Amino acid sequence: MEGLLQAFKFEKVQSQVATCLLVGFAAKKKGSGRNSYWQEKQTLFFNGKAYPRKSKDYQFLLNRAYNALYSQNESFRKCLVDAGNAIFTHSIGRNNEKETVLTEREFCSRLQHLKDVGLLPENPQQDW
């Protein structure tokens, strides 16, 4: 997932594909070189389409990404089930939408929803 999130910072599809192949710190490191570019524009990209950072369409894109992870990764689903009644928190990263592609609230609310209910709404009007 980190590779995908960092790939959103690149306009060119080739760069996105290369970034999606990376995991963890390697993905974060590659994406960090694009921080000032996307932060200045407040625009992220996927598959040739531009997404304003604060748009409902970008939130829908995040929902689709987390739904795909949930649907296709049995280990991810098992981790959510194993969390039991835990409430997700996250202390690494930033909370300002202007500075990060995924805030703590956006991340934790998606994990909580997937754990509690299953797939996220496929509706760009969903407020997060």
Residue 91 sits in the same domain as residue 40: no
Tokens of 32: 């960090």
Q: How many helices (H) and strands (E) does the chain have?
A: 7, 2
Q: Rounded CA gap, 117 and 39, in Å?
A: 33
Residue 41 sits in the same domain as residue 70: no
Which residues span the domain enclosing 84?
A: 54-128
Whole-model pTM over 0.95: no
Number of domains in the chain: 2
Q: Summarize pLDDT for 83-121 with one digit per residue, the tens.
A: 999 899 888 878 999 999 999 999 999 999 999 998 988
Residue 37 sits in the same domain as residue 65: no
Q: Summarize pLDDT for 13-69 with one digit per residue, the tens.
A: 999 999 999 999 999 999 999 999 999 999 999 999 999 999 999 999 999 999 999
- Angle (CA) 72-5-92 rounded to 5° is 105
Residue 69 sits in the same domain as residue 19: no
CA 28 vs. chain centroid, Å, equals: 12
